[in-house]
C-alpha cells in the first residue's frame, strides 16, 4: 500500500504539484474519512433503490454514468466539497468549473473494463492542460476489483489515434481504445481505499480491468476544468462554477439541482446531453442516442 499524499491544511505542497505535472497523475490523496465515504455509498445505493423503477425519461444508469451532477444533488455535493476543491486548486488555480460528474460502478464478478484511452480524445476541447479528473473511491479500488492503471508520463503525448470497439463489456461510450500496445510493466495501478482520491491529466493514458471480487467497485469521477478552455467541436457546452469566477463566457453556467430528478433538471440534462453529443459523436458512425444507454 502506498503512503498517502500529504496535505498541508488540506492543500497540496509544491513537491506534489510538481510530481503531478511530471507523472500526469497523483495518488492516493486522503480527502474524505472512510466512515463518510461509506455513508456516501449508502446514499448512492439508496438513490438506486428509490429511483430504479421510477418513470424517468432515461434508464437510471444513464443518469449515473453521464452528468450526474445535473440531476442528483449528492453528485454535485461531492464535486463541490471544499476539501476536494482545496486539492484541485493546487493544480488548476482559483477558478474551477465542474464539467461532469459520473459514477463508475463495476458490479462484483463481472467482465466490465475500461480500455486504455485518453479522456480528451472525444470531448471537443483539444489537447489542453487545464482539465483533470478527480477519482474518489467509495469502495476499495484494488487490482482485483478493477482499479485504474496509469502510464506514467503519457500525458506529454498529443491526442493519440484511437479506435472505437463498441465492446459490450467496455464502460466507455464508444469503447474507445488507443492504437498503441501498452505493456503490462508500463501500467501503474492506482489502488485506493474508500475516501481516497486520485488525480489524472486529461491526456493520461489509463484504463482498468474487470472486478473479480465479491463487492461492487464504486467511484465518483469528477472532471474539473478552468474557464479558459473552450469547446472546439460542439456549438456550446455547460459547466457549474465551483470556485472563483468565470470571466470568459466559454461555458453556459447553470445551478445544481435542488432535489433528485426534478422536471427542470431533467429538461436541462437533455439539453446538455444533446449539446455534448456533438463532440462525443464527432467522427463516429454509431447512433449518438445509444451512447448513454
Q: Which of 12-16, 55-59, 279-283 has the lowest mean pLDDT?
A: 279-283
User: Stretch 115-121: mean pLDDT, rounded?
Assistant: 89
The per-residue pLDDT for 118 is 93
Domain ranges of the chain: 14-292
Q: Which residue has the cell 505542497?
A: 13
| H-helix or E-strand spanning residue 267 | helix 263-280
The per-residue pLDDT for 287 is 41
Q: What is the mean pLDDT of the chain?
A: 91
pTM of full prediction above 0.85: yes
User: Stretch 104-108: mean pLDDT, rounded?
Assistant: 95
Residue 278 — very low, low, confident or very high, per pLDDT cuts 50/70/90?
confident
For the stretch 68-82, pLDDT in tens is 999 999 999 999 999
Cα distance from N-terminal residue to C-terminal residue, the chain: 36
Q: Is the pLDDT of residue 261 over 90?
A: yes
Instruction: Please give the backbone phi and psi of residue 20, each rounded to the nearest 5 degrees, phi first.
Output: -60, -45
Residue 58 — very low, low, confident or very high, per pLDDT cuts 50/70/90?
very high
- In angstroms, how far is CA 217 from the centroid of its own chain? 14
Q: Output Rg (C-alpha) for the chain, integer angstroms.
A: 18
C-alpha to C-alpha distance for 240 and 250, rounded to whole angstroms: 12
The per-residue pLDDT for 115 is 83
14-23 helix and 82-92 helix, angle to the nearest 10 degrees: 70
The per-residue pLDDT for 113 is 79
The per-residue pLDDT for 164 is 63
The per-residue pLDDT for 162 is 73
For the stretch 140-181, pLDDT in tens is 999 999 999 999 999 999 888 777 655 565 555 554 556 567
Superfamily name and number for 14-292: q2cbj1_9rhob like domain (2.60.120.620)
Closest CA to 19 of 189, 140, 200, 175: 200
User: Stretch 258-262: mean pLDDT, rounded?
Assistant: 98
The per-residue pLDDT for 289 is 37
Sheet holding 148-150, edge to edge: 114-117, 206-208, 148-150, 188-190
C-alpha to C-alpha distance for 88 and 195, rounded to whole angstroms: 16
Amino acid at each position: 500500500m502506498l503512503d498517502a499524499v500529504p496535505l498541508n491544511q488540506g492543500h497540496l505542497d509544491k513537491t506534489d504539484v510538481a510530481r503531478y505535472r511530471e507523472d500526469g497523475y497523483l495518488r492516493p490523496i486522503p480527502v474524505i474519512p472512510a466512515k463518510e465515504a461509506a455513508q456516501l455509498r449508502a446514499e448512492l445505493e439508496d438513490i438506486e433503490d428509490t429511483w430504479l423503477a421510477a418513470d424517468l425519461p432515461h434508464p437510471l444508469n444513464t443518469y449515473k454514468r453521464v452528468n450526474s451532477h445535473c440531476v442528483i444533488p449528492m453528485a454535485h455535493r461531492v464535486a463541490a466539497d471544499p476539501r476536494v476543491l482545496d486539492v484541485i486548486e493546487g493544480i488548476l488555480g482559483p477558478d474551477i468549473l465542474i464539467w461532469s460528474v459520473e459514477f463508475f460502478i463495476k458490479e462484483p464478478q463481472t467482465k466490465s473494463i475500461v480500455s486504455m484511452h485518453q479522456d480528451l480524445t472525444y470531448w471537443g476541447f483539444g489537447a489542453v492542460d487545464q482539465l483533470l479528473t478527480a477519482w474518489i473511491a467509495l469502495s476499495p479500488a484494488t487490482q482485483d476489483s478493477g482499479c485504474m492503471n496509469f502510464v506514467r508520463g503519457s500525458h506529454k503525448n498529443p491526442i493519440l489515434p484511437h479506435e472505437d470497439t463498441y465492446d459490450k463489456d467496455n464502460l466507455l461510450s464508444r469503447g474507445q481504445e488507443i492504437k498503441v500496445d501498452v505493456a503490462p510493466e508500463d501500467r501503474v495501478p492506482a489502488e485506493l481505499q474508500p475516501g481516497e482520491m486520485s488525480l489524472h491529466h486529461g491526456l493520461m493514458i489509463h484504463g482498468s480491468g474487470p472486478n473479480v471480487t465479491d463487492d461492487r467497485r464504486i467511484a465518483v469521477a469528477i472532471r474539473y476544468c478552468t474557464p479558459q478552455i473552450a469547446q472546439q467541436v460542439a456549438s456550446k457546452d455547460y459547466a457549474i462554477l465551483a470556485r472563483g469566477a468565470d470571466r470568459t463566457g466559454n461555458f453556459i453556467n447553470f445551478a445544481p439541482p435542488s432535489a433528485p430528478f426534478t422536471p427542470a433538471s431533467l429538461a436541462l440534462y437533455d439539453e446538455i446531453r444533446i449539446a455534448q453529443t456533438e463532440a462525443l459523436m464527432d467522427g463516429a458512425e454509431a447512433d449518438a442516442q445509444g451512447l448513454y444507454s
